[in-house]
Structure 1
Amino acid sequence: MMNLMHWRLVVAVADHGNITRAAERIGMTQSGASQALALMEETLGVQLFSRESRQTLPTAIGLPVIEQARLMLGALETIRQTVDSVRPMLRGTIRLASFPMVLASFLPPLLRQFNRLYPGIEVVALEVSDDEVETLLAAGLVDVGVVLNPAPERNAGPLGRDAWVAVVPAGHPLALRGTEQGVSLQELSALPFVLATGGCSTNARSLAVAAGLQLQDVRVEVREWSSAFTLVRENLGVTLVPEMTLPADRQGLRVIALAPRIERVFSLVLPAGQTPSPAVQALLDLLADTAHATTR
């Protein structure tokens, strides 16, 4: 039975033209190398080398066999180099901080694919608010975090996006408005309002402030988006929510586009000044590859 040592022997004999020197090169005894070579020729049913007094030279059939052996051993070395180059990223832990909605929507498909590609890397996901993500990143307590609308200089990896939409009671005057017309943030800010935060600092109030406006009549403030929809159904006011939070059952509600459109962009961001570990870089590379495949 032939193994890699036998093929290394064949190449070594061809290189040195001498069984003794070839045996020394691959760490075999001269007698062991002679027996191994004879066994290979018997197994193949051909003579690979002609033995002369001082040289061992390839036969006509031996030449192509030796060439294929070189290719095989070269391919094996390439495989080993490939494995060695990625070995640091085959094991490790990634600490990832994100707010709940992204953990439940954008991240699962990415993390499932990452786990399939890198089963030895554990991703520990921390569910926190958007402000807490920034705090953890600033303290270097996580390796990567999901950040809303990051500044360009943060070299973020885009994860996904959605738009803010208004939700009003089905019987509200705005509910009669056409979808294409939409409603402005200025109009909404003057109405009785149900403020939903989702545990994030970016919400209807912060959007209004950024636009130079103020929510004039906040009737109630809630953390959970589902609570806001219940209160809107009860005609307590209107609300402004991310599109991805909309319930499947919208009975009693009317969703209206915000005009002009305001988007939320979610991105994976590293702590400032930190070089990503091989494991984190593998995650960022997968994210970039996924985004590229989606846009093609």
Structure 2
Amino acid sequence: MMNLMHWRLLVAVADHGSITAAAERVGMTQSAASQAMAGMEATLGAQLFTRAPRNTLPTALGLSVIEQARVMLGALQTIRSTVDEARPMLRGTIRIASFPMVLARFLAPLLQRFAQLYPGIEVTTLDVTDTEVLTLLDAELIDLGVVLNPKPERKATVLGRDLWMAVLPTDHALAQRPADASVSLEALLEQPFVLATGGCTANARSLGAAAGLTLRDIRVEVREWNSAFSLVREGVGVTLVPEMALPAQRKGLRVMPLTVPLHREFALVGSPTRAPSAAASALLAMLAD
């Protein structure tokens, strides 16, 4: 089944010539966008784009579908503008805290769309760690925060999820397996390890502990994902990172899925003690749409 996000993605791919760039524009991960595009083509029973290594171009039929999609989205925007002009503008402020990766790659395009829908609402974002997000929420210093793997008791609006991926030097013994091979978490954690945290409490150490495993040989611990990739290339050790953090340039690296997939979920949550403001409720309603 197709929804508005699918049609926005379709137009964004046509505008940017790249599924990766289009995914960032509409607020999706690259893998989710690729799956959505494949699902659209399967539902319609037609190929809308031809995919080349450096660009994605519409087919002749795709051009016609994209033209109609633009008309539909334009009509929807006209309806929204008509309604907005007929009612008082919602005003207010929203303070949102998030850890850097989700803020930059996922939340930013959503907030751009929100600003178009609600120009009277001012949104302030704070770039903090996942632990600081919870502290700020509990102290009621922010309206909303992006939380990793939110607890069931917190009312959460899920933004997305990604998989944890093993990253090894290309000459590592485990990296010599076939292209479709996976690696177990236990085998990975037994290797000399570069512990990358991204400033978050959810990392290889916590994932291992949850599985009853221990990192036996941590050679170095770093905050930045790019630092970890450089160290892996140099043969210092292997690492485990979220799919969203993987570099575009992977020379010298072998990326492998875990045999038993592990994912992390990120979601917007509000204060545990008070209801969201009208402005925050408007943002949550847009995301639910």
The TM-score, its normalising length taken from structure 1, stands at 0.68
Give the partner amino acid of 2:254: R
Structure 2: give runs of 5+ residues left out of the alignment: 1-82
The answer to whether structure 1 residue 259 and structure 2 residue 259 are counterparts is: yes
- Alignment deviations for residues 9-45 of structure 1 (CA, whole Å, 9 cap, x no partner): xxxxxxxxxxxxxxxxxxxxxxxxxxxxxxxxxxxxx
- The 3-state SS of whatever aligns with 1:221 is strand
Q: Which residue of 2 aligns with 1:109?
A: 109
Does the CA contact (< 8 Å) of 1:93 and 1:279 recur in 2? yes
Structure 1: give runs of 5+ residues left out of the alignment: 1-78, 290-296
Q: Which residue of 2 aligns with 1:177?
A: 177
Q: Which residue of 1 aligns with 2:271?
A: 271
- Alignment deviations for residues 163-202 of structure 1 (CA, whole Å, 9 cap, x no partner): 1000000111111223443111111111000000011111
Q: CA RMSD in A?
A: 1.7
Q: Superposition pairs for residues 211-250 of structure 1, below 5 Å?
A: 211-250=211-250
- The 3-state SS of whatever aligns with 1:153 is coil
Shift of 1:108: 1.4
- Alignment deviations for residues 61-96 of structure 1 (CA, whole Å, 9 cap, x no partner): xxxxxxxxxxxxxxxxxx799625xx4xx2111000
Counterpart-to-counterpart distance in 2, 1:266 and 1:184: 24
The answer to whether structure 1 residue 151 and structure 2 residue 160 are counterparts is: no
The answer to whether structure 1 residue 95 and structure 2 residue 95 are counterparts is: yes
Paired positions, count: 208
Counterpart-to-counterpart distance in 1, 2:203 and 2:223: 10
Structure 1 runs of 4+ off > 6 angstroms? 79-82
Does the CA contact (< 8 Å) of 1:137 and 1:272 recur in 2? yes
Name the CA shift for 1:179/1:278 in 2 (closer, same or farther; >3 Å).
Answer: farther
Does the CA contact (< 8 Å) of 1:133 and 1:147 recur in 2? yes
Name the CA shift for 1:143/1:219 in 2 (closer, same or farther; >3 Å).
Answer: same
Name the CA shift for 1:81/1:238 in 2 (closer, same or farther; >3 Å).
Answer: closer
Q: Which residue of 2 aligns with 1:207?
A: 207
Q: Which residue of 1 aligns with 2:124?
A: 124
Instruction: State the identity as a percent.
Output: 62
Q: Superposition pairs for residues 27-106 of structure 1, below 5 Å?
A: 83-84=87-88, 87=89, 90-106=90-106
Does the CA contact (< 8 Å) of 1:179 and 1:257 recur in 2? no
Query: Over alpha carbons, which structure has the higher Rg?
Result: 1
- Alignment deviations for residues 205-263 of structure 1 (CA, whole Å, 9 cap, x no partner): 01101111110000000010000000000000000000111111100000000121110
Q: Which residue of 1 aligns with 2:76?
A: none
Give the partner amino acid of 1:125: T
Q: Which residue of 1 aligns with 2:285?
A: 285
